[in-house]
Amino acid sequence: MYRESSNVVTKDILRHPDFERLCKKLRSQSGVIELNETIEALKIISYVGVPSNSTIVQVLLQLVRQNINSLTLPHIMFLDFLLHQFKSSPLVDALKIALPIVFEIHLPLKMDRENVAHLAEYLHYASKTR
């Protein structure tokens, strides 16, 4: 019952004119959106259930692709989690391949060797993506 009503609510959100306007505004502002905002927008879009082949998801994923070398280690792990929520598309699949590689390259450069909790998370992620 809850799942069914949840799907109805999601469909209502996706069809709502304000949501369409929000997506258009986000698309038009994509050149000036900061990386944290891009990731936050992707998180919300994923939660709402916007399909991975939609223009707004593709625009946001392109922004991630363009800034892939600026991602922090936690960003990479979170984006990898988010990408697994989306259905397969060429860009989703490419980022799923690229993120673990970028993680491996950035790990020795960006990790805080004093933060045991982060080190444990990094180890878990690295072992999961092998």
Q: How is residue 50 written in tokens?
A: 């916007």
DSSP run (H or E) holding 79: helix 73-83
Q: How far is CA 64 from the centre of its chain?
A: 8
Q: Please give the residue range of the domain that contains residue 34.
A: 2-128
Ramachandran area for residue 97 (φ above 0: left; ψ -120 to 50: alpha; else beta):
alpha
For residue 80, give the amino acid letter. Answer: D
For 91-129, the pLDDT digits (tens) are: 999 999 999 999 999 999 988 899 999 999 999 999 988
For residue 67, give the amino acid letter. Answer: N
Say how many domains are in the chain. Answer: 1
For 34-90, the pLDDT digits (tens) are: 999 999 999 998 988 888 888 889 999 999 999 999 999 999 999 999 999 999 999
How far apart CA 72 and CA 8 sit, in angstroms, is 36
